Structures are given as structure tokens and as C-alpha cells.
Amino acid sequence: MTTAAEKGSEHDQDPSAESAVKGLAGPLPEGVRARVIALAAEAVGSIATDQLPASLRRVASFAPSRRAKLAGTQIAGVLETDADFRGRLATQVRLRVPELARALEEGTTPAAADPVELAAVAYLMRPEGWVEVVERSADVAGVERDAAASREVAQQVERLRRQLDDAHDELRTLRERNRDQMTALKAENSDLRHKLGDARARVKRAESAAESAATQADEVVAQATASSTVAESELRRLRTRVEELEQELTVARRTERAEKGGATLRARLLLDTLLETAQGLRRELALPPVDGSPADAVEADVAEQGARTPSSHGSLAKDDPALLDQLLALPRVHLVVDGYNVTKNAWPESSLEIQRDRLLSGLAPLAARTSAEVTVVFDAADRVERPLVKKPRGVRVLYSPYGVIADDVIRDLVAAEPTGRPLVVVTSDQAVARDVRRGGARVVDAVVLTRLLARS
């Protein structure tokens, strides 16, 4: 019994079927050709490699879509020339679309079948009358293409008609807008004409006022000229008087210097007498030299409290006034510095360690230059441990005890000094300044010290 596959193979090998290819009116329509290549590319993967033409073995392992893309031309060429290969493909196509294959072999055309699919399957299987099926499917596809083109043209015409209607509406709107703008421009033009008339009237009034002002200006100039003449005469008189007064002042200064010289001589003689008396009294009483200062007692009491840990911080400076420099030139002056009050005003962007080091490094040469006693007090009321700092030569460094603020330590230092000793406190804290002034100290603002350090 002959199977459908054998019948298909017989059709493929039938010379009359081969000659039927030549009966096509032209080349396969593009859609049918693409579908033929797609069906063949799918079926190639189901055929043994040794049964494939040599030109298709390399792409047999590819995916169907990639085979159709890369080897579509080779597949189409082999289908035209290799009947055995086409027969094998026809067998695979029958397995994939059995109903459509059966209908073609029986000579019936399904009414709902896709004409492109039908033509592609008929081309591969080559049943009786396949040429007519391909050409008829091509005609149907052409009709569908024409219909689609007609629909597209109709849609385009409809779209253009809508665009034309929109353009007419826009033109109508534009005309109405232009008409409104023209009306507004006419009204604005009329208004501008009225304003121009008003402006011209104002210009005439302004010209008249300018002429009047010019006349008044001439009168004022004449009066000013007369006043200037009088003023120059008065100025010459005053200059003469000034010269007379300067001469009198010169004579008075000479007299004052002569009198002052005598007073200075008497004061100096008295000062030398007092100094010699003090020195003789010291020798007579065999008084020992002064060792230490009252601030040492405060330092000893503060130093007993708290532990010390190493740290490092710094300081910088700016300009200095002469007032503090003059105060530090006093004999045996004691300079007390509110440490953090100075550093936080001078270098707020730096850490506390850097602020301390910068202040102390600036005070060391100041103490050496002025021979002043220098004490710096840092606030440590909220911590038991004290940062370890390298004390510069000639500078005493104190940390306030735990629970005691630096302001109170400064008050104790001032209270410990004897009345009459020169004492200078550097702070911007108004409460501290008020208290130490009552204790007899001279208060200098923190910025003054930073400027003095900057100049040194």
C-alpha cells in the first residue's frame, strides 16, 4: 500500500511535476517565498545531517529563525534543484500541517486557509494542480495587498481631509484673532496720539520752566560770586589771625618746655632718692630676693586635681594694638589669659588641641620679650582627665579643677595678687571682666592679644 509520504516522493520525482515548475507565470510572490523559506528552515532541523545538501549542513544546528536569516538564499536554491531534499521537506511539512496537506492532496482548498500558507505548502509538496494553487494564492495575496493599499489610501485621504478641516478652522481662528488685534492696535494708536499731544504740552511747559530756572541760576551765580569775594576777604583775615595764633602757640610751648624741664628734674631727683632709699633699706634689713609669686599657690592647688593624658592642639594670630604692649612693659606685670575664650574667638575652625598649642606657642616669645609673668587658664570643669601640653618656658598653664570653671580660677588668681601690682586679664567674658576690674586688674579684649601675637 502506498503511503502519503511515498506519494509525495513520487510527485517530487515525477518529470511532469518538474516541468510544472516552469509553468509558473513568474517568480514566487515575496510573501510566499518568505513563508516557503521559513517552513523549510523549520523542517531542516528534523532531517538527518547526512541527508542534507552539503550547503545546508553547516546551518542545520542553528535555530530555525537564524537558519532562515543566514541560509534563506541557499535553501531557496536547493529547493529548485534538489527534488530529494524537497521531498524530505515535504514529508516534514505534512507532519506539521497535516490537515492542510491532506486537503491539497485531495484537491480541495480550505476556505479559511491563509493564501500565503496554502501556496507555500503547495510549493513544497507539489500535489496535482499546485501551480494553480500558488498562482491563485498569489492573486488573492495581491488582491489583499491592493485592498490594504486602498484602505491605507482611504485612511490617508481621510487624515488629510481632517487636517484640511483643522487648517480651515485654524485659519478662521487666526483671522478672528488678527481682527481683534487690529482693533486693539487701532485703539492703542489713538491712545498714543492723545499721550503724544499731552507730552508735547508738557515739553512746552518744561521748556518755559527751564528758561525761568536759567534766569534764576544766573541770579544765583551773581550772588554766589559776590559772596565768594566776601568769603575770600574773610579767609585772608582768618589766615592772618591763624599765623598770629601759631606764633603765640610756639612761644607758649617754649615756655611750657622750660617749666616742664624743671618739674621733670625735680621728679627724677625725688625718684632716684626713693630708689636709693629702698635699696639701702633692703641691704639694711638683709631682705632675700622674692621667690615665686601668689599665682603659684593657685597653680599648686589646681594641679593636685585630675589626671593628665597626652593631646595636641594649635594656635594662630593676627594683628596687635600698642595698648597691651605698653601694659606688658610695666615692671613685674602679671598677664592672666582666659585660654579658650581667646582661642575660640581667634581660631573657631580648629580643634581644642590645635587651639591650645597655637596659643601657647605664641605666648612663649611674648613672655621672653616682655619678662612678664604669664598664666594661661583652660576650662576643664566637665572632665577629670587633663590634656597633657608642653608648657613653654616662662608660661604657666592651669586647667580648672573638675566641677570648677576657668572663670573662677581667674578670679582666684586676681584675688591672690597684692594690691598695687600691675595685673592684666585677657578675656572677652563680660562677667569675668567686671569681677576682675573690681579686684584692681586691667582687662584687655581677647582680640587684642591675638593681634599682638600676630605682630610678634
Nearest Cα to Cα of residue 3 among 110, 83, 91: 91
Other residues' Cβ atoms within 10 Å of the Cβ of residue 291: 6
Burial of 114 (0-12, 13-18, 19+ CB in 10 A): middle
Which pLDDT value is given to residue 437?
Answer: 94
Nearest Cα to Cα of residue 377 among 334, 416, 336: 336
pLDDT in tens, the chain (456 residues): 334 434 444 344 343 334 344 456 567 777 777 878 787 777 777 777 777 787 777 777 788 777 777 777 777 777 777 777 787 778 778 877 877 777 777 777 776 677 777 777 777 777 777 777 777 776 666 666 667 777 788 888 888 888 888 888 888 888 888 888 898 988 888 889 889 988 988 898 888 888 888 888 888 898 888 888 888 888 888 988 888 888 888 888 777 777 766 666 656 656 666 676 766 666 666 555 655 566 665 655 554 444 333 333 333 233 346 888 889 989 889 999 999 999 999 999 999 999 999 999 999 999 999 999 999 999 998 888 888 888 898 899 999 999 999 999 999 999 999 888 899 999 999 999 999 999 999 999 999 999 998 886
Which pLDDT value is given to residue 322?
Answer: 80
Which pLDDT value is given to residue 426?
Answer: 95
In the CATH hierarchy, which top-level class contains the domain 294-455?
A: alpha beta
pTM over 0.75: no
Which pLDDT value is given to residue 1?
Answer: 36
- Domain residue extents for the chain: 4-128, 176-287, 294-455
Which pLDDT value is given to residue 375?
Answer: 96
Q: Are strands 334-338 and 423-426 parallel, antiparallel or unpaired?
A: parallel
Which pLDDT value is given to residue 289?
Answer: 60
Q: How far apart are CA 405 and CA 412, in angstroms?
A: 11
Kindly report the backbone phi and psi dihedral angles of residue 396, in degrees, each rounded to the nearest multiple of 5, phi listed first. -90, 130
